[in-house]
Structure 1
């Protein structure tokens, strides 16, 4: 069922599927961080009048299905959600902030966002809910990044020699 929204002079139905992940796609959204993140994201969406249709937080990425006001630009939606959630998560989990201090940000630069078009809301909700089941690793030696070990990439301080063109 399509639940359109109304403003003073328009009726609209703007629904988006948004996916983004932590920097270096490390599996840091677990052990309580995922539940805190869901609460933070709900507060952000309430504040900016985004309506969450479905949301799933996996250890290394997040799926959103949301509707937003017609005046909200897609880049603004992604930027708002990513920036405020990173600030709030760093406040709630100082160890996470310490872990990402070398690169300076929690989320990767990129994201995926798509309008849902003709796909029904139920289809997209089912897809997002099924992500948790399909993301379970089926192999041994899963890549994990414990908080105690800073990854080699962040620990190294590389000094590249400058090339002077003659």
Structure 2
């Protein structure tokens, strides 16, 4: 149960949030609107299956912004690994032509950016992510 940004779990009360950003391989602009919507659905499905939540996200043609929350036992690297790995596999299965647009058939760049977000800056990060598409 979430109240005032605090989540009450069986053994702890927490507010653990991450702003995660990663790009497509070679920053290729391959994520059209159709793929962006498919990715959003996939990311929400993955989060639910793997035990973390996505509060908000924005997907651009060449990169992704995710605002996620997780129990302290869920490693941030696990969140990234699940989102990138499963989404790439499923997108390539559903859209084999996508692999041809990318050298060596990798969807995501291997690196990513991550920062922890406390309640003070949570609103600022949400607005930043939600306004990504309007920035051009």
TM above 0.5, yes or no, is yes
1:110 aligned residue:
111
Higher helix share: 2
Pair member with larger Rg: 1
Instruction: Note the 1:42-57 alignment, pairs <5 A.
Output: 42-57=44-59
Distance (Å, rounded) in 2 between the aligned partners of 1:9 and 1:69: 10
Q: Pick one of 26, 33, 55 that aligns with 1:24.
A: 26
Work out whether residues 16 and 118 of structure 2, in 8 Å CA contact, stay in contact via their aligned partners in 1. no
Distance (Å, rounded) in 2 between the aligned partners of 1:119 and 1:89: 36
Distance (Å, rounded) in 1 between the aligned partners of 2:33 and 2:115: 29
1:92 aligned residue:
94
- After TM superposition, give the deviation of residue 104 of structure 1 in Å: 3.4
- After TM superposition, give the deviation of residue 118 of structure 1 in Å: 4.9
TM-score (norm 2): 0.91
**In the alignment, does 2:134 pair up with 1:133?**
yes
Structure 2 stretches of 5 or more lacking a match? Answer: none
Structure 1 stretches of 5 or more lacking a match? Answer: 137-166
1:37 aligned residue:
39
Work out whether residues 5 and 119 of structure 2, in 8 Å CA contact, stay in contact via their aligned partners in 1. no
Distance (Å, rounded) in 1 between the aligned partners of 2:50 and 2:15: 16
Higher strand share: 2
SS where residue 120 of structure 2 aligns?
A: coil
1:159 aligned residue:
none
SS where residue 127 of structure 2 aligns?
A: helix
Runs of 4+ residues over 6 Å off in structure 1: none
- Bigger relative contact order (CA 8 A; separation at least 6): 2
